[in-house]
Amino acid sequence: MARHWILLVSALGLAACATTPDTNARLASSFAPDCQAVATFLAGAVAEGRTVGASALVWKGGREVCFENAGFASREDNRLFARDTLVQIFSMTKPVTGVALLQLWEQGRFGLDDPLYWHLPEYAGLQVATVIGSDGNLVLRDPSRPPSIRDLMRHTAGFTYGDSDEPADIIWERLQPLSADNTLAEFSAAMAQVPLRADPGTRWIYSAGVDVQARLVEVLSGMAFDAYVAENIFAPLGMTDSAWRRDGGDLDRLARIYIADEHGALNPMPREEWLEPNFAGNPMTMGGSGIVTTVDDYMRFARMLLNEGELEGRRILQPATVRLMATDMLDPRTSNENRMWLPSKGTGGFGLNVFVRTAAPMSPEKNRGTVGEFFWDGLPSMLFWVDPGQDMAVVFATQKVPFDNALHHDFRSAVYGADYSGVTPE
């Protein structure tokens, strides 16, 4: 059930335009988040029934400047949404997976523009599904080129998440690659049998390509994916509360997921549905979802990215790699119509497993933010962003489905102010 909810030379030049070390202090002093506004927003969202509970953590200028919380982690148990509340972050797992794979890139294990099948041979015969023929069978053709690893990381490989009515999803539905009973190796073998929805590089299609990234980490490192992340990201960053698999005793810290019905009322999702597969000990460790963490732990990950790959003396990525990750890599010829719902997140594009803001918000209806920020979110309305221009990172935690972009819009307005221009001073 959970899977149905899962729905670097020129690059360095672009990234260098955002800030330089000499200007960081001045830019940081140009704006101060209004913590009272954040607290008021959270309390209001709970009081108005927009969410059951939430917390927010803001780090700016090298220190924590705001932590606010409101409401319940479990309304039925009268358990407050506290600082140590565990949350299921779903797709906010994806940037973690991207960092893991980029570590191996830095080691020379692969090239970003290597065809995927060089490293995962099962993908050698991929074809594009065009239509369903009169005989009921799929009509297939060869792709214009094979998908690359860069395509995997920017959602342009042509893969699917099984969430469309396009012909390729007939095979997805039959094979169910992301079944919780599959290992990543079994997932990848099944995924390689699902046709592409489009030629690589032509459309931004949110997909299970990040789970393919996780399988790549296993093959390239020789380690189980979750073990690799634990050893190379969580442990050096001190993310002691972050994992895919947890003991059942953690349930008393785990926030419930609430689902809004057609009238907006928030009802607890049944436990067998709201627990991610790994909590129950299933084999699947998704690259695109599944981490359970806290706002403090995830902020350590965000701070590492804000500090260009390093935290408290532990280097996770090189600065150039973080800048590359946070550079828009979508072909300008890829129109908004070919970017699914990505434009709803702001004016920008996509780097390596993160959205990248390339222009200031153009109207009050657009989400506030700063040019050069990068971020991602997760299905139960989770959100984090890194704002180098303001030397700031933010984590917003809540557990509400369906995904609520309006909640993010209003939270960003609380952090930045509704009139924030989105451009740092020269």
Give residue 422's region: left, alpha or beta (phi > 0; psi -120 to 50). left
> Could you tell me the end-to-end alpha-carbon distance of the chain, in angstroms, rounded to an integer?
49
Distance CA 109, CA 221 (A): 9
CB under 8 Å to 374, separation ≥6 — which residues?
Answer: 305, 325, 326, 351, 354, 355, 356, 357, 385, 386
Residue 87: CB atoms within 10 Å: 29
pLDDT number for residue 275: 60
pLDDT number for residue 258: 97
3-state secondary structure of 300: helix
Q: Cβ distance 384 to 296 under 8 Å?
A: no
DSSP strands (E only) in 49-144: 53-60, 63-74, 79-80, 87-88, 128-132, 138-141
Distance CA 51, CA 399 (A): 8
For residue 58, give the nearest of 378, 413, 386 by alpha carbon. 386
Distance CA 347, CA 359 (A): 6
Distance CA 358, CA 375 (A): 12
Distance CA 32, CA 60 (A): 8
Joined tokens for residue 399: 């557990």
Phi (first) and psi of residue 158, to 5 degrees: 95, 0
Distance CA 296, CA 159 (A): 33
For residue 154, give the nearest of 195, 198, 197, 201 by alpha carbon. 201
Burial letters for 313-338: b for 16+ Cβ neighbours within 10 Å, e otherwise? Answer: eeebbbebbbbbbbbbbbeeebeeeb
What residues pair up with 268 in beta bridges, in sequence order?
Answer: 258
* Alpha-carbon distance values, 99 to 50, 219, 308, 423 (Å): 33, 16, 12, 27
Distance CA 173, CA 74 (A): 34
Distance CA 142, CA 155 (A): 19
* Alpha-carbon distance values, 420 to 368, 391, 406, 426 (Å): 7, 16, 17, 16
Give residue 226's region: left, alpha or beta (phi > 0; psi -120 to 50). alpha
pLDDT number for residue 279: 56
Distance CA 271, CA 258 (A): 11
Q: Cβ distance 388 to 19 under 8 Å?
A: yes
Distance CA 77, CA 135 (A): 55
Rg of the chain, C-alpha, whole Å: 21
3-state secondary structure of 387: strand
Distance CA 259, CA 49 (A): 12
Tens digits of pLDDT across the chain (426 residues): 444 444 333 333 333 334 444 444 444 446 899 999 999 999 999 999 999 999 999 999 999 999 999 999 999 999 999 999 999 999 999 999 999 999 999 999 999 999 999 999 999 999 999 998 878 789 999 999 999 999 999 999 999 999 999 999 999 999 999 998 999 999 999 999 999 999 999 999 999 999 999 999 999 999 999 999 999 999 999 999 999 977 666 788 999 999 999 999 999 998 766 665 455 567 899 999 999 999 999 999 999 999 999 999 999 999 999 999 999 999 999 999 999 999 999 999 999 999 999 999 989 999 999 999 999 999 999 999 999 999 999 999 999 999 999 999 999 999 999 889 898 765
pLDDT number for residue 252: 87
pLDDT number for residue 22: 43
Joined tokens for residue 368: 């506030």
Q: Cβ distance 167 to 130 under 8 Å?
A: yes
Domains in the chain: ranges and CATH: 2-102+224-416 (3.40.710.10), 112-221 (1.20.58)
